[in-house]
Amino acid sequence: MWKKSLGLGLTAVLAIGTAACGNSSNNGGASSSAPASSASSSSPAASSAAPSKAASGDKAVITYWTDDRHDQEYIKSLIEKFNAENSDNIEVELTVLSENYNQSVDIAFSSNKAPDVLRLKSANTETFVKKRLFGADR
């Protein structure tokens, strides 16, 4: 049952992230919203890391990385709403990285600390695919 809920939660986060790529004109400020990591893109991609769920009753934490600073507050509010309203012991942690994003993703994958979900810009997708960072390529 929790896998179905996790799938629905991931789908919601990805839909929110995709919708958030819309018409925002605020491009200021570097920031990190929650303790996790971040990545960005037009096409969301799931990493090889799986959400952790230690024991029955513990929350499954989904780490979500993005470098889209202009939508940070909107995405953060949606994630906070999801975290508050879901009853399936799933928590999403958002991290927004604005500097050295590609290097941060490379380091995270090479150290087996990649996020559960990351957003990639279409310009960077080919680079990450060639590096074989995604499960389908391993």
State the pLDDT confidence band at 127, using cuts at 50, 70 and 90: confident
State the pLDDT confidence band at 73, using cuts at 50, 70 and 90: very high
Which residue segment(s) compose the domain that 118 sits in?
2-137
State the pLDDT confidence band at 16, using cuts at 50, 70 and 90: low
Query: Which whole number is the average pLDDT over 22-28?
Result: 44
Q: What is the CA radius of gyration of the chain?
A: 14
Given this model, what pLDDT does residue 15 score? 55
Given this model, what pLDDT does residue 64 score? 94
Rounded to an integer, what distance in angstroms lies between the CA atom of residue 73 and that of residue 7? 24
Tally of structural domains, the chain:
1
pLDDT exceeds cutoff 50 at 48: no
E strands, 47-89, in order: 60-66
The answer to pTM > 0.85 is: no
Share of the chain above pLDDT 70, in %: 56
